Amino acid sequence: MKIAVGCDHAGFPLKNVVIEAVKAAGHEVIDVGTFSADAVDFPDFTKKVGEEIQGGEAGRGILICGSGIGACIAANKMKGIYASICHDTYSAAQGVMHDAMNVLCMGGRVIGPELVKVIVPAFLNARYLGDDEGGERLARRVEKIRKMEEDHS
């Protein structure tokens, strides 16, 4: 799977760790920037990650800003993007498995490289269970989220 990775200046110190973790998990990286520690605005890179997913070029995305909060809020404004901040492996996997999360957001000023190395594969190795037999409960809930998105677009 192709994974779009983006960050702002506060997330930049962790970006290469994220990229290496994505590659180690057997996926291809689409690096949308930023490419230096110079100050930039996180919504610009959030938009690029979201557009890669919306356009079908990437299956999932990873965003890193200072806290993860701003990138998460911005990502969730984009149609078809289901983002969450995850600073633990349980949430990173559970968000995909139960809620069809397709963008992982992390805070570059909150977590360090060793945690990134376990969170990223937890996110990437998880699969949405709502399509499985017995996943009707999960699918029903995700469909309600999608309907909310349609009703308020």
- Which position among 7, 65, 72, 105 bears the catalytic label? 65
As given in the structure block, the two tokens for residue 111 are: 């977590």
Quick one: which H or E segment has residue 8? Answer: none
Task: Give the span between the Cα atoms of 70 and 44, in whole angstroms.
Answer: 11
- Give the HSE-up count for residue 39: Cα atoms under 13 Å, Cβ half-sphere: 0
As given in the structure block, the two tokens for residue 65 are: 């800003």
7 catalytically annotated: no
Task: Give the span between the Cα atoms of 149 and 1, in whole angstroms.
Answer: 25
Task: Give the span between the Cα atoms of 30 and 54, in whole angstroms.
Answer: 14
65 catalytically annotated: yes
Q: Give the residue numbers marked as catalytic.
A: 65, 98
